[in-house]
Amino acid sequence: METVYRLNLGLRTASRVLLRLGEFHAAAFSELHKRARRLDWARFLRPGQAVAVRVTCHQSRLYHSAAVGRELAKAIGQGLGGEVSLQKFDPQAEGPLPALVLARLVDDQCTISLDTSGELLHRRGYRLASAKAPLRETLAAGLLLASGWDGTSPLLDPFCGSGTIPIEAALIARGLPPGRSRRFAFMDWPDFDPALWQSLLEQSAAARRAEIPPILASDRDAGAIQMAQANAARAGVAGDIQFTCQAVSAVEPPPGPGWVVTNPPYGLRVSGGKDLRNLYAQFGKVLRLKCPGWHAAVLCSDPSLIAQMGHQAAASFDTSLGLVNGGVPVRLAIGRLRF
């Protein structure tokens, strides 16, 4: 259980943490029911508890996922000595979420897992305000890690929006775990150990780093900057980030070299229908004049926009990672600016 607690508290890029409860052969509903009922449900659930069951079936004699879900709910209820309330898992619904059980049937082999997280792990609890097309917190942390940022060099985000990249950078630099201010599904388990959880929180607080590098974030949208400042305050890192409302052409990086990690407009959900070539050309000019020798990671959906940054800037990006941002295929261009 300590591992479950630590993973939910500290993982920066995972969506959820699953606990494997069992794996067994099930080619008939009777077999599925009997073996699922024997799992140690009482350690994690209570009789009468709301439960959601998600099922996937591939190349198995039990191929009807809804029927498998209903049979599993019956087995869970019998394993607990009562019934459970089978509900839909809807993270947008008001009120507490049901416990989420996941079942996967492949070649008649059934794997049962229990979600330990509840709401997806990108929901850190600090981003109550968001600008257009915000990055998920997990993706923002992933960009920082993929960029190679060392956590001790200056960091610049000239298109910060609601501040997710600089806030995640400040959490990384301080050594603060992203899950320290939210609830998790395991906190409702019968065997939840509050003392152990509190000790992990205290350990993480004691490991907080006192000194961090300059983190600069800017955006030309004054409303976005206000949102970013409010989000940073909720995350406990308001004093660690210098927010400025300004156009990219006005950016003044701190003494470097450092890292530029950013998510400029793509022209899809933000600046829809606008010609962004001039914006990217201006961005490339700023990098060329003010950030020579810096590292850069730029998330973009259109390689032609990266090309608008200029030949030298585009040629500096020697690594490209394919990702998905809000359902949009994007690429993270990574490199060292060789000017």
Domains of the chain: 18-115 (3.30.2130.30), 137-179+209-336 (3.40.50.150)
The mean pLDDT of the chain is: 94
Residue 103: name the closest of 57, 42, 168, 60 by CA: 57
Residue 271 has pLDDT above 50, yes or no: no
Residue 130 pLDDT > 80: no
Does position 186 have pLDDT exceeding 80, yes or no?
Answer: yes
As a whole-number percent, the residues of the chain with pLDDT over 90 amount to: 87
Rounded to whole angstroms, the Cα distance separating 19 from 115 reads: 6
d(CA 306, CA 103) in angstroms, rounded, equals 43
DSSP single-letter state for residue 42: G
Selection from 158, 170, 173 nearest residue 254 by Cα: 158
Cα separation values, 241 from 15, 20, 53, 177, 230, Å: 26, 40, 42, 17, 12
Cβ neighbours around 278 below 10 Å, total: 10
pTM of the model: 0.92
3 state SS of 92: coil
